[in-house]
Homo-oligomer: A and B are copies of this chain.
Amino acid sequence: MRLIESLATTPELAEVFSDNSVLRAMLQFEAALAAAEARVGAIPESAAAAIAATAIPEGFDAAGLAEESLRAGTPAIPLVKALTGRVRASSEESARFVHWGATSQDVADTAMMLLLERSRAILAGDHERLERALRRLSDEHAGTVMLGRTLLQAAPPVTFGLKAAGWFGAAVRGWKRVESRFEEARMLQFGGASGTLASLGENGIAVARALAGELGLKLPDAPWHTHRDRLAALVCACGVYAGSLAKMARDIALLMQTEVAEAAEQGGEGRGGSSTMPHKRNPTGCSLTLAAAARVPGYVASFLFGMAQEHERAAGGWQAEWATIARVVQDTGLALASMREVAEGLAVDPARMRENIAATHGVIFAERAMMLLGAAVGRDVAHEILERATRRSIETGWQLKDVLMEIPEVARVFTPAQIDDLDSPEQYLGSAEIFRKQLLESSK
């Protein structure tokens, strides 16, 4: 992980796209190709063995290959050249069969598939923990009342359990889409020059099948050099999931505001302090998530724009995607890991939540009072009374119910119990708990 990308990946995902890992994936393709071709008799067994023995990242000059990649317009050409050179050192004969029948994009795309498989496992682990943490938060706070907030204004109450369940539902749906798109996309790329495997003659399909098997990838209907929709769908699914994580992050960052103070990230080793302000507890995890999620939509747009790729293999098509895919996965993974950590450590302050409700003087229950009153005095009269009362409550700072009790028409109608109850948030939660449970069910 480098400094310039230190806020744009996790260390684990940085490793997946490190030189060593990328090299390994490309070499894995070349070794598996040779093995598959040997199995169907297209090349000698000895060549496959020689290639396999040489196809390990150690000893390759990654930095040099990177510079040659830029010259060649693809990392495949210099890699194949270097690999061939190393095989030739042990067997002139075997060297002839390196990369046999494949085209540059076959290596680049398939290697990316292997890297995506590794990334997927990392994301899956973080998602599972996030899901668990959110379910626990929701259950623990099923009865924790707090202000609803609409357009950033106080609104009738909700529960923190419902809010966490909302995040949970979106995360579960988001991950299901990502998972299914990873599954759809994990396809071998193998088509040769024009995508027909012509140079392999009758053996094309058999080699492709064996190669897919070697690499643990799926065999597509046909090579997909310029049909990028499966990858695009994966990139989009990451974008949607990152968007839902950003919603969670924004909510929590807002709850952590000094003036709201209803929740707090755990902080902990090296996290979230301020260099100049010792009193601060910063929403560091939320900030990283918001930052990562702000980058992903741009990548998605780039990917989609790049889909109009020419004919059998495009001029710049997959090259545009190569770095982008890594970044999508890294930023999504960072957003996910950050919110996982935030959710696992989140401190919730139910007392403060109740204070913030109380600070509204009960005006968020005006709708409720209006409906109770309306049954007795008619809805129009009730509406007019409540408007006046609400305004007075805001101006004076009195509780709405105290203002109401001073109005004879109201005092006459309401029983003491009713008036007492009027601004009890627990009595005005509607279907919150039903919704909460239904959301938690959704992951099963």
Contact = CB atoms under 8 A, between A and B. Distances in A.
A296 B242 CA distance: 20
A236 to B, nearest CB: 4
- What interface size band does chain A fall in? 35 or more
Interface string A332-370: 001000000000000000000000100110011011100
A124 interface: no
A162 to B, nearest CB: 7
29 contacts: A2-B66, A4-B18, A11-B67, A70-B334, A71-B284, A72-B273, A78-B270, A152-B253, A153-B258, A154-B259, A154-B279, A157-B194, A170-B229, A193-B276, A193-B367, A198-B428, A198-B432, A199-B371, A221-B441, A228-B243, A247-B307, A254-B311, A257-B257, A258-B360, A278-B366, A279-B393, A286-B316, A291-B319, A294-B320
Contact of A275 (B104, B147, B250, B260): B104
A129 interface: no
Nearest to A80: B275
A-B pairs, top 4 by smallest CB distance, nearest first, are A148-B194, A243-B307, A198-B430, A290-B316
A189 interface: no
B394 A279 contact: yes
A38 interface: no
A18 B275 CA distance: 25
A282 B153 CA distance: 7
A407 to B, nearest CB: 15
B307 A320 contact: no
Contact of A297 (B11, B77, B256, B302): B302
A89 to B, nearest CB: 16
A138 B284 CA distance: 32
Interface string A2-20: 1111111011000001110
A431 B194 CA distance: 11
Interface string A276-317: 111111111011111111111111111111111111111111
Contacts of A201: 430
A304 B62 contact: no
A95 to B, nearest CB: 9
B103 A276 contact: yes
A17 B312 CA distance: 36
A388 B268 CA distance: 18
B259 A323 contact: no
A394 to B, nearest CB: 6
A333 to B, nearest CB: 12
A48 interface: no
A295 B287 CA distance: 22
Given A73-B288, A198-B430, 13 more contacts: A7-B74, A73-B271, A96-B380, A149-B311, A149-B312, A152-B253, A157-B198, A166-B226, A197-B431, A232-B239, A250-B308, A254-B310, A279-B364
A226 B299 CA distance: 23
Contacts of A91: none
B310 A149 contact: yes
